[in-house]
């Protein structure tokens, strides 16, 4: 049976907090911001209404508005069923807002920060934890800027704001260019979503100069020769390193992300042990990858039941140890723009290796082997050749060596 419940966004707050409607129906939950705010000290959790109090004399009208919303959601749910329409969250939201249109004849204008709060809560139902973490971090910086410098709302997101905000992230927080770009990209996503929902009509964020910063990162890849050195390492005396080595090599020869190559099961090995087929966690794309001889050998070693992986961070620590033992210690210069200044470092290559190096190595080695880009992209999931070519790592010399066999130079 469908049931409505009102809950406070922050029940322990000392100031006003939003009231949400939670509507449980057919093993689903619809969460809706009522737009109403109340200080928790006036809230009766059991009754899910405002307490009668001389310090809050408007409580009857306040509770009447919540009654109206509860009756509204119950009515639209029943109407959808009676009309033979299967309810879902989007249909409930649209029908509820139409049903309450008279009641909300002049709805309270939602602010940028209220929209972002609501959008993050809504996104928790269908987006990954990593995405929610990025949303929250971007929101934190926006609030800090608003408090320290000047209050912002939808109409404040202009090119002037953009330039001031870049300075805030770059100079006051010393963030790297790509990190700044990530937060600008997320802000633009918030603004786009608000625009699509009719909440925002300021389109200055879509101008060319309101751009997402991107700096090519100094990431490395491992060549086939280097991968052979790692594969030939005898790590039988260290089970932890041997396990990490085997899992990493599977990533290097499948192009799968850490979240995917550590979850391969026997049922993913098809076509008489010649192909791995998985649905990727990040994009939900189904990919089919021919089994490289190294992958076949490792799968056979574990009877197609790969060992449980360590955490990504632990794997990264152990990988640096493994690659160092393989003698891959050439010095690599890296640069990064942080706080508006270019920082240069020279590090041995093994210190730059992480689990993601496996995927980058796969793409780069196949490209150097002259496998068509479109075939590689079918596995890596890149949608355009431009984004794919930014992903692979080919040095000037490697590019020249590759061109030596081209008919133009012969």
Report pLDDT for 216: 59
More confident residue, 385 or 403: 385
Predicted local distance difference test score (pLDDT) of residue 244: 95
pLDDT level of residue 205 (50, 70, 90 thresholds): very high
* Residue pLDDT, tens place only, 119-175: 999 888 878 888 899 999 999 999 999 999 989 999 999 999 999 999 999 999 988
Spatial separation of the C-alpha atoms in residues 114 and 15, rounded to whole Å: 15
- Find out whether 100 and 68 touch, Cβ atoms under 8 Å: yes
Evaluate if residue 88 carries a pLDDT over 50: yes
DSSP annotation string for 11-69:
TT-SS-EEEEEEEEETTEEEEEEEEEEE-GGGEETTTTEEPPBTTBTTHHHHHHHHHHH
pLDDT score recorded for residue 408: 67
pLDDT value of position 394: 63
Encode burial over 132-156: b for 16+ CB neighbours within 10 A, e otherwise.
eebbeebbebbeebeeeeeebbbee
Q: How confident is the model at residue 44 (pLDDT cuts 50, 70, 90)?
A: very high
pLDDT average, residue stretch 190-198: 90
What is the distance between the alpha carbons of residues 98 and 199, in angstroms, rounded to a whole number? 16
Tokens encoding 404: 């030596």
Q: Tell me the mean pLDDT in the region 246-256.
A: 94
Of the candidates 399, 409, 396, 390, the residue with the CA atom closest to the CA atom of residue 368: 399
**Each residue of 54-72: b (16+ CB within 10 Å) or e?**
eeeeebeebbebbeebbeb
Domain ranges of the chain: 3-99, 112-206, 224-409
At 315-358, the pLDDT tens digits run: 999 999 999 999 999 988 776 666 566 667 788 999 989 998 99
CATH of domain 224-409: 1.10.443.10
pLDDT (tens digit per residue) in 278-287: 998 887 888 9
pLDDT at position 16 is: 85
Range of lowest pLDDT (109-113, 168-172, 207-211): 109-113
Residue environment code for 253-282, b if the CB has 16+ CB neighbours within 10 A, otherwise e: bbbbbbebbbbbeeebbeeeeeebebebee
Matching CATH number, 112-206, of 1.10.1060, 3.10.350, 1.10.150, 1.10.287: 1.10.150
Residue for token pair 């049976």: 1
Looking at residue 203, its pLDDT comes to: 94
């Amino acid at each position: 049976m469908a049931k409505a419940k009102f809950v406070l966004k922050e029940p322990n707050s000392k100031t006003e907090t939003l009231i949400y409607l939670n509507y449980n129906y057919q093993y689903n939950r619809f969460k809706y911001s009522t737009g109403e705010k109340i200080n928790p000290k006036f809230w009766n959790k059991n009754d899910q209404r405002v307490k009668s109090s001389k310090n809050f004399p408007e409580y009857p009208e306040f509770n009447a508005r919540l009654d109206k919303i509860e009756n509204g959601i119950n009515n639209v749910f029943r109407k959808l069923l009676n009309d033979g329409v299967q309810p879902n969250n989007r249909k409930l939201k649209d029908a509820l807002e139409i049903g309450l249109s008279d009641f909300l004849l002049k709805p309270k204008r939602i602010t940028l920060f209220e929209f972002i709060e609501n959008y993050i809560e809504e996104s928790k139902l269908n987006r990954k934890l990593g995405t929610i973490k990025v949303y929250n971090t971007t929101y934190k910086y926006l609030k800090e800027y608003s408090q320290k410098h000047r209050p912002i709302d939808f109409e404040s997101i202009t090119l002037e704001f953009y330039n001031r905000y870049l300075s805030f992230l770059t100079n006051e927080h010393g963030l790297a260019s790509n990190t700044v770009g990530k937060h600008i990209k997320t802000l633009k996503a918030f603004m786009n979503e608000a625009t699509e929902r009719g909440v925002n009509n300021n389109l200055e964020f879509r101008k060319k100069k309101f751009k997402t910063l991107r700096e090519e990162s100094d990431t490395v890849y491992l060549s086939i020769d280097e991968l052979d050195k790692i594969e030939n390492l005898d790590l039988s005396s260290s089970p932890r390193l041997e396990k990490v080595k085997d899992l990493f090599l599977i990533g290097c020869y499948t192009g799968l992300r850490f979240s995917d190559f550590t979850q391969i099961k026997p049922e993913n090995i098809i076509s008489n042990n010649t192909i791995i087929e998985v649905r990727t966690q990040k994009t939900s794309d189904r990919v089919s990858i021919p089994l490289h001889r190294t992958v076949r050998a490792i799968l056979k070693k574990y009877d197609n039941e790969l060992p449980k992986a360590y955490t990504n961070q632990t794997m990264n620590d152990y990988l640096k140890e493994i690659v160092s033992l393989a003698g891959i210690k050439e010095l690599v210069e890296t640069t990064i723009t942080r706080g508006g200044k270019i920082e240069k470092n020279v590090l041995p290559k093994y210190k730059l290796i992480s689990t993601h190096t496996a995927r980058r190595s796969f793409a780069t080695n196949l490209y150097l082997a002259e496998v068509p880009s479109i075939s590689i992209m079918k596995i890596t999931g890149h949608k355009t050749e431009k984004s794919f070519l930014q992903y692979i790592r080919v040095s000037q010399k490697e590019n020249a060596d590759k061109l030596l066999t081209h008919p133009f130079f012969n």
